[in-house]
Structure 1
Amino acid sequence: MAIARDFSLDAKYRREEGLIFLSGIQALVRLPLDQHRADKRRGLDTATLISGYRGSPLGGLDLTLERNGELLREHNVVFLSGLNEDLGATAIYGSQLANLFPRPKYDGVLGMWYGKGPGVDRTGDIFKHANFAGVGKQGGVLALGGDDPLSKSSTLPTHSEIAFYDALFPVLFPGNIQEILDLGRLGFELSRYSGLWVGFKIVTNVADEVGTAEVAPHRVVVTDPGFLFEGRPWQAQQQPMLMPPFGLETERLIHYGRLEAARAFAAANGINRIAVPTPEAWLGIVAAGKTYYDLREALGELGLDDAALRRYGIRILKLGMLFPMEPGIVREFARGLEELLVIEEKRAFTELFIRDVLYNQSERPRVVGKHDEEGRILVPANGELDADRIAQLVASRLERKLHLDSITARVALLEALRERPAPRTLVRQPYFCSGCPHNRSTVVPEGSIAAAGIGCHGMALYMDRNTYGLTHMGGEGAQWVGMAPFTETPHIFQNLGDGTFFHSGSLAIRQAVAAGTNVTYKILYNSAVAMTGGQDAAGAMPVPELTRALEAEGVKRIVVMTDELDQYPKGTRWARGVEVWHRDRLDEAQRILREVPGVTVLIYDQRCAAEKRRLRKRGKLPDPAMRVYINEAVCEGCGDCGVKSNCLSVHPVETEFGRKTQIHQSSCNKDYSCLRGDCPSFLTVIPRGTAKKKERRLFTVDRALPEPALKVSRQCSIFMTGIGGTGVVTVNQILGTAALLDGQHVRGLDQTGLSQKGGPVVSHLKISERPEEVSSKVAAGEADGYLGFDILVATSPQSLDHARPDKTIAVVSTSQVPTGAMVTSTEVQFPETNGLITSINRVTRKDENVYLDAIGLSERLFDDHMAANMIVLGAAYQAGALPVSAEAIEEAIALNGVSVPMNTQAFRAGRLLVVDPAWPQTLTKPRLGAVETAPALSVEARALVDSVGAAGELR
């Protein structure tokens, strides 16, 4: 296929017409730019303020905005990270008042607030005040609510439309990247027209989606609805006076003016539409946002395309605005139906409004949704609705009137997948990164109890650390204030991340001081909000200033723990009585503090290991020269170093003498906690003189590689599994970009959650020659290509459900990457590889499958494990499992701009492995301490051996 030569990575933001490739988060960054361009075409000079607080699924939005500062300035966009969600919303409220002051700079100011579901909940008060006040002239506000229905990276599943409804926001629900751009533009215009803030529901699978979208200057055409209010053309007016009695008049205006204007705007601009207008239908199905595309995927798998839906009497209504409900289109849609089925996640919401619209109709269909006509559960209110779940519930309604082989076959397949025996494998759980400060900081002394908090350190709940409980963000420790009077337990430790402290957690400490509660707060000061991408905490202060602030709050005693005592120069201004100790004295410090009555604080000051690694890579932080090795000939495999360090770079390995341990050099972050293990096998190596940056050894494929025969459909679904933080998402982005370069359309999804902390990550990618109304997820049994970058995740039942013996080609790395449980317990073993391979072969096209030790090969070729995924990608291409060109893949690798020579050669090496499976056997890299390893003595060491006449193993 011809490659699009004019493609560039910033096209996702700058191209104004054509096809672009971007993620859901990137689409949210582009949205205010498109609104500014539209305003400019109308002769308006507008600006935009973006503020809020990070949190998955919108966790990367602020980072992406910060990385595009020049682009934002070009479009008059100002980004201010909120200290927390409600203060960010208050700043947005202020932006709408700017034109009421003298000498405004712009014709109008738009606002875009963002926050995850719990942030929506805590911001309700300012939402209501701001919405009563209204938006500025030529302004408008979108409030992005990030919902995590599966609670993958949240303490609770969330459902923000009800909170938006309570604040009287119109609520829009985009279902994919294209709708973020299109419905988002209409959202700004709706807010501007109605005078209301507009809720914009972004679920995880839309924020994390990747794919192609069409853009054009006049793609979104706005129609004035001509709404009349009290006999006059509607004109939104601000009501900034919120004191009594003005609020009562504003309440009337909202209910009978602004909300009715929103309904009229939605009707005039086609925000809700009858997607399949079957004239003589008996069944109507209603869905919105992501759920609509899951529904279309489910219907397709049941054999019901648009023609079949019309043939069998089925009508589909797609809602873009959940509230206020547009009554006209509901009545039109319901006309003549016997049954109307509402499919939506979580509690009934649109179902209630639809019932209300139809209640007084003389002829109305039976409305079912959360329950059927007999009160039985129909559409579940828990968990997530995906295409497979929807297919089964829709089939249960259709089979009363339709008897189609396609429906029977699909339901049978889904039931068979549910009955598959689970393979004997090991679950890969999220874990602290290698060298993470929390590996040590969350340990408590014997006899003590800790309470968990929001942040990466919350994973201590999964570990044997006597850690319990969790509150909302910022409430850490206040629950103990309420517990303490009713228990004989005298004291607890409360973990509190620095990001949470500056967000709102400082108030919990003030509450504990006010109550006189015995508690030691462990402020885990990591200089980055690692859970959402390594951002600086908004409003953060250096540790010395923090101690003075805590002293002013009334904290009784403060101890600072650090791994770098020399980072604080002489004369540093600490609070009175503060002691600064090395982290090795953590247990001693905790035992002292737990005996002090009242509130005490231990500040554990150590930079986030992942952020430290990034800074070292960019040359912004010194990289220690010392490296740690383990001589396997001496190691007894006791596991004490793993227990002491809790570090994922302490790898158990199987040798000819049984289990041993090695330090995985390319993932090691040089925390050196493993040296606390009681073991003589450790070696520390410090190069002589000034350490020089190591030049990466670059293997090159020096032979021509034949083009493979494509063994999957060109309309292809690819399912990928791996370990978070190892580049699985990057592979998906590269494949998606390559498909775009080949002129194809793409929809995909990166399901990450806590996977960035060493847990499982899965990515989905669908490639087609034209746009399709489908889910971004690969449905059960529908994967054509199955790429396993980690064999443990690849053999989980949830992953294997996407494979089918007559359809799926698997390309899987067999490298044994240990889990956290394997590091800390010698009892936990990696499952037997042949058994795992058998589990995959059983559900895939076993004769076409490819298995390879990708990490081992990557380290032998490049001295780096990070090329492993590209080796798997190359093998998948050569196996005929990818409907994209090698030229486009290599161009996408180059456009990505990261380790381009290595990743290009790794892709080619994967191809070579399929062409010549015996080739890797010619490569060797002996382990340190392996019996076949010859000793390598320095000149000085050999002279010493010769001087004493030693023989045998010393030589």
Structure 2
Amino acid sequence: MLLVEGPAALSGVSALGRLLLDQHHADRARGWRTAGLVSGYRGSPLGGLDLLLQRGAAVFGRHDVHFVPGVNEELGATAVYGSQLATQLPGPRFDGVFGLWYGKAPGVDRSADAIKHGTWMGTTPRGGVLAVAGDDPASKSSSLPSASAQALAECYLPVLAPADVADVLRLGRIGFELSRYCGSWTGFTVVTDVADAYESVLLGEPVEVVTPEFEWDGRPWAPTRHPGVDIPRARAMEREVLEGRPAAAVAFAAANGVDQVVGAADARLGLVAAGHDYACLRDALDRLGLTGPELDRRGVRVLRLGLVHPLDAAGLRRFAAGLPELVVVEAKRGFVEAQVKEALYDLPDRPRVWGKRGPAGALVPVDGALDADRLRAALGPFLAERVGAEHVDLPKPARISLPLARTPFFCSGCPHNRSTVVPEGSLAGAGIGCHTMTTLVGRSEGFTQMGGEGAQWVGAERFTDVEHLFQNMGDGTFFHSGALAVRQAVAAGTTITFKLLHNSAVAMTGGQPADGAVSPAAITAMLHAEGVVRTVVVTDDPTRYPRSAPWAPGVTVRHRDDLDEVQRELREVPGVTVLLYDQECAAELRRKRKRSPERRPVVRINERVCEGCGDCARKSNCLSLEPVETELGRKTRIDEGSCNDDLSCLSGDCPSFVLVPPAERAEVERVEIGDLPEPVRPARANVVLVGIGGTGVVTANQVLATAAVLDGLSVRALDQTGLSQKAGAVVSHLRIGTGRAGQVPAGAADAYLAFDPLAAAAEPTLSTCSPRTTAVVSSAAVPTGAMITDSSLAFPADLPQAIAARVARSLVLDAQALSRRLFADTSCANFLLIGAAYQLGLLPPSAAAIEAAIDRNGVNTATTTQAFRAGRRLALDPAWPPPPAQADTPFDRRADLESYQDKRLADHYAHFVATVRAAEHAAGTTGAFTRAVEVNLHKLMTYKDEYEVARLHLSAGYPEGTRYRLHPPLLRALGMRPITLHRTARPAFTTLHRLRWLRRHPWLNPFGATHLRRTERRLIRDYQRLITDLLPALGTARYDALVELADLPHLIRGYESLKLTAIAHYESRLAALRPTPAGQHPTSPDTPAATLGGPGR
């Protein structure tokens, strides 16, 4: 999009990149030879600007636009100041250099001194500086809510506020010219809903710039420009900076129509709003029946401010003339409101000015971000009373009760999954970066500003009995400013361990290198020089370092499996220590592997061997380990589509893991889609897409927006991601032919595409639906981060049905299962739903435009197009494609027991179950008790000893070359780690399976004498006695209590110590539900089986 002319779809961040080229083109058209410099520091909502500049380096280079990332915001601002110095030094190569500084709101705060010095020193007539502040008023991905206009104003900058993407291009150009004219840097606030927006714009349109005839101090305006400012010169310039430049900025803005007025000339009410707040206000007015013509008819006048500081007092007075009342609509504190009151204060007929306060108290909210819904609710009663607005309270349907939330979580294979875990009894501090998410799962206590990590402990440690703190810090933060916090801790003599993650990337999606980064060895040298007492490097692959690696004195390198031991050692060391955890960002590794021709073994879990205990998930905290319900209970499955090959799951105490040789893409079922009739498409639509971060929700929205532009439609899209790029809820809004702001208001959605039912059932997203909405819903139950770490949690049932109850009509599809069946992975699931939505007549773009947009996206285009077409077919026939010819047969537990041991055991099981079934039939109960016995007796009788694990691996049919991860009892007893069997595995398994007869002879069975095996055999006998004792109570006692007792063995999961812990929990629960009668004693582990009526085992 950098070089496109004419209609296009562009994001707010992309518009900043395009702005640089537009400025260069405009200068060239005037015959000026200018260059550009961009510097600053990444951070949402401007987190993608550096990527855009890096990827487009060739294009920007041809236009003499240079990108120099700042190590931090302050130094980036100082570099941009240097861009104005260049032409005042000997031998300038250009007529001028325009500079663009960028940073999120906290970066504005830390850079205030640099920005003040830069703007005080001035700009050049053919240079100019735009200081772009990324504001996050709702604190979606920031530690604090933010609004930077006031901070920029305090730095002596005029401040512009774009309302949308088109405004970024128009006001951005004006901002550079304003900076050149008045001599100050120009502040430019871009809020999240503008940066993350994706809108149709007309590229290549010239911006006409007018230079005003403005005088100050009795002479034509000419700002003072100095290559440097000393104290006497600074004093001499103060009046110009505080009075002259602001006046020149106002004159320039007025001459170029930066502020605009709409509405009635003879109005009785005025509304004032700036930037994106104006777009939200107009949408709110539309919802209140105050559309364009109605504003005139009902006497409402609206002032759209582009320049929020300094305010054009003369223009404001003209706007306010004749108005009895005026309302200032702005987010956060009343910054504009105060300027409005000051400008109107000395008028004899000044209007009453409302804003944060109204006639009845609070009016415009001071907290969070403003949107059409909040403004409609806040202003509705006021406007109804004043001008007859159509204010009707929207109905509030009952919320869907959700025991779980789709919260952010670390990527699969993320080093933070393991590195942020601390030993029991230790405290950890969080900071800025991915590890902030540890606060969501209770692994850290609070966080600091970026670069302050650990300094809070300097102030706290002497006032608490806690003697040590682990402080998480990323390498990006370390190079940004965190190194100073380490220095502070050393200087203060603090006892602290910095857990410094070196993952070669910053930002929550990877892909962006840490500016100023150096190697782990160089970091240890820096730490040694700072006075750190001890540094230990922990890594997933200690062999990656050469023997000659230049580590600092005393540095040791340990495997990540030793993490807990290393942390316990370091917390006992007085002074400052560092645990340098070196493992590359999982998201970035995934990108590299996709580009690499090398094919790696695939880690899989043999679900029959798996006990569903969740130990692998607890050890790895990996989202790719999905709990799945099977006929044999809950198991764990690896989602190969999201797996990043970290292999941390192999640390789980479980023999179910296998490494399968890489194979060609799995064969998929070939199905004919057939002819697809064209639906009747709407001319305009509000569409909401809801899904999971990292699954292509944003891509889907941008494809649809691009398709709308290709069809010549007006479009506004907004991706609300925040701290959710991976695993959290992502909500995308798409407005085609309607609205001024990107967010779909409450009750206004025409189409609701629920890619994830859990995220889609949550408020306030679901409130966009109404009885006129059509929903297309995926029923796939994708586990949350909480479900990964707590195997007792279950995915909420009936969410698609609950969503369907809130809308006019709905179509429910298991999109992930269909995508896996049709395309061998789940990456196409979203476009199955999009295809269905299109065929239902919910989307304005044509099918040809959507497919062209898919092609433009350039990723997996053929398969994605087929998925779109398959989704269309599903809307016509939800039963398509027909089920596979061979359906799964029910699991035969009796046959399984015969394979497990022999016919004798299988017959005993069948006889016992038949006895229970007959007793229940006689009692006239429902059969749930028998089903519980059937399932749980089989579970207990087929305990997974060495013979059974061998059988189950043999029966899985894994290909030649498969490797098996095992931890035999002998190695476990010797304290050795698990081993991996390759060529010897199958012969060993075959031999073990043949020796299963040894189970019946404990004195011969080499594996049967352990405490666990004896306990497993006892449990079978105890359970049969329990059930026998309960049979007479069928039909007389509480039936559900009897079923619960019969089903209790489902609590028993895991291997070795994990299973023994689970058994203790099971027996404790059993004792609570069924106290042991007086005089009866539990059986001993070695009680002969014959005395209990069971077969010898």
TM over 0.5: yes
For the 8 Å contact 1:699–1:905, the answer to whether it is kept is no
CA positional deviation for 1:741: 1.1
Matched, 1:820 2:785: yes
Residues of 1 paired with 2:405 and 2:725: CA distance? 16
Deviations 1:346-375 (Å, cap 9, x if unpaired)? 00011101100100001011000011146x
Residues of 2 paired with 1:24 and 1:262: CA distance? 24
CA positional deviation for 1:424: 3.7
Residues of 2 paired with 1:460 and 1:949: CA distance? 45
Deviations 1:685-740 (Å, cap 9, x if unpaired)? 2x2xxx57x346566663433224337x4111100000001000000010011111
CA positional deviation for 1:773: 5.8
**Aligned partner of 1:916 among 877, 880, 890:** 877
Matched, 1:399 2:408: no
For the 8 Å contact 1:60–1:533, the answer to whether it is kept is no
For the 8 Å contact 1:239–1:250, the answer to whether it is kept is no
Give the secondary-structure state (helix, strand or coil) at the position aligned to 1:59. Answer: coil
Residues of 2 paired with 1:699 and 1:657: CA distance? 27
Q: Go from structure 1 to structure 2 and tell me whether the alpha carbon gap of 1:791 and 1:343 turns closer, same or farther (over 3 Å shift).
A: same
In structure 2, the partner of 1:575 is 552
For the 8 Å contact 1:629–1:684, the answer to whether it is kept is yes
Higher relative contact order (CA 8 A, sep 6+): 1
Give the secondary-structure state (helix, strand or coil) at the position aligned to 1:14. Answer: coil
Matched, 1:363 2:349: yes
**Aligned partner of 2:451 among 436, 449, 474:** 474
For the 8 Å contact 2:500–2:581, the answer to whether it is kept is yes
Equivalent runs, 1:628-707 vs 2, <5 Å: 628-685=603-660, 687=661, 694-695=664-665, 697=667, 702-707=672-677
For the 8 Å contact 1:701–1:909, the answer to whether it is kept is no
Give the secondary-structure state (helix, strand or coil) at the position aligned to 1:719. Answer: strand
Give the secondary-structure state (helix, strand or coil) at the position aligned to 2:499. Answer: strand
Give the secondary-structure state (helix, strand or coil) at the position aligned to 1:905. Answer: helix
In structure 1, the partner of 2:690 is 721
Residues of 2 paired with 1:949 and 1:28: CA distance? 67
**Aligned partner of 2:424 among 420, 434, 446:** 446
CA positional deviation for 1:636: 2.1
In structure 2, the partner of 1:790 is 756
In structure 2, the partner of 1:871 is 832
For the 8 Å contact 1:92–1:111, the answer to whether it is kept is yes
In structure 2, the partner of 1:162 is 150
CA positional deviation for 1:397: 1.3
In structure 1, the partner of 2:941 is none
Matched, 1:552 2:518: no
Matched, 1:95 2:70: no
Residues of 1 paired with 2:489 and 2:416: CA distance? 24
In structure 2, the partner of 1:226 is 213
Matched, 1:426 2:392: no
For the 8 Å contact 1:46–1:110, the answer to whether it is kept is yes
In structure 2, the partner of 1:4 is none
In structure 2, the partner of 1:5 is none
Residues of 2 paired with 1:697 and 1:751: CA distance? 37
Q: Go from structure 1 to structure 2 and tell me whether the alpha carbon gap of 1:451 and 1:303 turns closer, same or farther (over 3 Å shift).
A: same
**Aligned partner of 1:386 among 371, 374, 381:** 371
One-letter identity of the residue aligned with 1:74 = R
- Using the TM superposition, name which of 170-179 and 267-276 deviates more: 267-276
Deviations 1:211-241 (Å, cap 9, x if unpaired)? 11123342x1111111112222212331334
Equivalent runs, 1:34-113 vs 2, <5 Å: 34-113=22-101
Deviations 1:765-804 (Å, cap 9, x if unpaired)? 1112xxx661111010001111011010111121210001
For the 8 Å contact 1:784–1:808, the answer to whether it is kept is yes
**Aligned partner of 2:725 among 756, 762, 771:** 756
In structure 2, the partner of 1:377 is 362
Q: Go from structure 1 to structure 2 and tell me whether the alpha carbon gap of 1:178 and 1:946 turns closer, same or farther (over 3 Å shift).
A: closer
Matched, 1:800 2:761: no
Q: Go from structure 1 to structure 2 and tell me whether the alpha carbon gap of 1:937 and 1:735 turns closer, same or farther (over 3 Å shift).
A: closer
Q: Go from structure 1 to structure 2 and tell me whether the alpha carbon gap of 1:661 and 1:925 turns closer, same or farther (over 3 Å shift).
A: farther
In structure 2, the partner of 1:412 is 393
Residues of 1 paired with 2:29 and 2:889: CA distance? 67
Q: Go from structure 1 to structure 2 and tell me whether the alpha carbon gap of 1:367 and 1:574 turns closer, same or farther (over 3 Å shift).
A: same
CA positional deviation for 1:246: 1.1
**Aligned partner of 1:319 among 305, 312, 318:** 305
For the 8 Å contact 1:282–1:336, the answer to whether it is kept is yes
Q: Go from structure 1 to structure 2 and tell me whether the alpha carbon gap of 1:696 and 1:632 turns closer, same or farther (over 3 Å shift).
A: closer
Give the secondary-structure state (helix, strand or coil) at the position aligned to 1:401. Answer: helix
In structure 1, the partner of 2:440 is 462
For the 8 Å contact 1:173–1:200, the answer to whether it is kept is yes
Residues of 2 paired with 1:40 and 1:495: CA distance? 49
For the 8 Å contact 1:282–1:338, the answer to whether it is kept is yes
CA positional deviation for 1:383: 0.8
For the 8 Å contact 1:285–1:340, the answer to whether it is kept is yes
**Aligned partner of 2:868 among 880, 890, 907:** 907
CA positional deviation for 1:876: 1.1
Residues of 2 paired with 1:718 and 1:478: CA distance? 46
- Using the TM superposition, name which of 125-134 and 919-928 deviates more: 919-928
In structure 2, the partner of 1:841 is 804
Deviations 1:807-837 (Å, cap 9, x if unpaired)? 21101111110001111112211011xx312
**Aligned partner of 2:281 among 295, 298, 303:** 295
Deviations 1:645-675 (Å, cap 9, x if unpaired)? 1111111001112211111111111111112
In structure 1, the partner of 2:822 is 861
For the 8 Å contact 1:425–1:836, the answer to whether it is kept is no
Deviations 1:854-911 (Å, cap 9, x if unpaired)? 1111112222211111111111111221111111111111111001111111111111
Equivalent runs, 1:229-248 vs 2, <5 Å: 229-248=216-235
CA positional deviation for 1:533: 4.2
CA RMSD of aligned residues (A): 2.3
Q: Go from structure 1 to structure 2 and tell me whether the alpha carbon gap of 1:360 and 1:441 turns closer, same or farther (over 3 Å shift).
A: same
Residues of 1 paired with 2:574 and 2:512: CA distance? 35
Residues of 2 paired with 1:234 and 1:945: CA distance? 90
Give the secondary-structure state (helix, strand or coil) at the position aligned to 2:125. Answer: coil
CA positional deviation for 1:935: 4.9
In structure 2, the partner of 1:6 is none
Give the secondary-structure state (helix, strand or coil) at the position aligned to 2:272. Answer: strand
Give the secondary-structure state (helix, strand or coil) at the position aligned to 2:113. Answer: helix
CA positional deviation for 1:923: 4.2
Q: Runs of 5+ in structure 2 lacking a partner?
A: 897-951, 961-982, 998-1097
One-letter identity of the residue aligned with 1:455 = G
Identity %: 52
For the 8 Å contact 1:522–1:602, the answer to whether it is kept is yes
Q: Go from structure 1 to structure 2 and tell me whether the alpha carbon gap of 1:503 and 1:735 turns closer, same or farther (over 3 Å shift).
A: same
Residues of 1 paired with 2:552 and 2:223: CA distance? 53
One-letter identity of the residue aligned with 1:573 = P
**Larger C-alpha radius of gyration, 1 or 2?**
2
- Using the TM superposition, name which of 939-948 and 900-909 deviates more: 939-948
Q: Go from structure 1 to structure 2 and tell me whether the alpha carbon gap of 1:928 and 1:662 turns closer, same or farther (over 3 Å shift).
A: farther
For the 8 Å contact 1:698–1:902, the answer to whether it is kept is no
For the 8 Å contact 2:715–2:735, the answer to whether it is kept is yes
In structure 2, the partner of 1:308 is 294
Matched, 1:730 2:751: no
One-letter identity of the residue aligned with 1:15 = V
For the 8 Å contact 1:558–1:577, the answer to whether it is kept is yes
For the 8 Å contact 2:171–2:258, the answer to whether it is kept is yes
One-letter identity of the residue aligned with 1:226 = E
Q: Runs of 5+ in structure 1 lacking a partner?
A: 1-11
CA positional deviation for 1:638: 1.5
CA positional deviation for 1:81: 0.5
